[in-house]
Amino acid sequence: MNTYSSKLVENAVSELSRLPGIGKKTALRLALHLLKKDKAIAENLGTAIIEMRENIQFCKECHNISDSEVCEICGNQKRDKDTICVVEDVRDVMAIENTGQYNGVYHILGGIISPMEGIGPNDITVDSLVNRVSAGNAKEVVMALSTTIEGDTTNFYIYKKLKDKEIKITTIARGISVGDELEYADEITLGRSIINRTPFESTL
Judged by beta carbon, residue 74 or residue 162, the one nearer its own copies is 74
- Using the minimum distance from each CB to its own copies, give the nearer residue, 30 or 176: 30
Which residues make Cβ contacts (< 8 Å) with residue 97, sequence separation at least 6? 73
Q: Which is nearer to its own copies, 4 or 139 (CB)?
A: 4
Residue 126 φ then ψ, to 5°: -65, -45
Residue 112 near residue 133 (C-beta atoms within 8 A): no
| Per-residue H/E/C for 161-180 | HHCCCCCEEEECCCCCCCCC
Least distance to its own copies, CB of residue 34, Å? 6
Exposed / middle / buried, residue 204 (Cβ in 10 Å: 0-12, 13-18, 19+): exposed
The rounded distance, in Å, linking the Cα atoms of 87 and 146 is 9
- Which residues, other chains included, contact 2 with Cβ-Cβ below 8 Å and sequence gap of 6+? 10
Residue 28 C-beta: closest distance to its own copies, Å:
7
Decide if 129 contacts 85 (C-beta within 8 A): no
Q: How far is the CB of 53 from its own copies (least distance, A)?
A: 3
- Of 121 and 171, the one with the shorter C-beta distance to its own copies is 121
Binding residues (CB under 8 A) for its own copies: these are 1-9, 11-12, 14-16, 18-21, 26, 28-36, 39, 41-56, 64-67, 71-73, 76, 89-91, 93-94, 97-98, 110
State the nearest-atom distance from the C-beta of 18 to its own copies, in Å: 6
Of residues 42 and 172, the one with the C-beta less far from its own copies: 42
We find the least distance from the C-beta atom of residue 27 to its own copies, in angstroms, to be: 10
Q: How far apart are CA 167 and CA 179, in angstroms?
A: 34
Smallest Cα–Cα separation from 103: which of 129, 78, 75? Answer: 78
Nearer CB in complex with its own copies: 94/188: 94
120/143 Cα distance (integer angstroms): 18
Least CB distance from residue 91 to its own copies, whole Å?
7
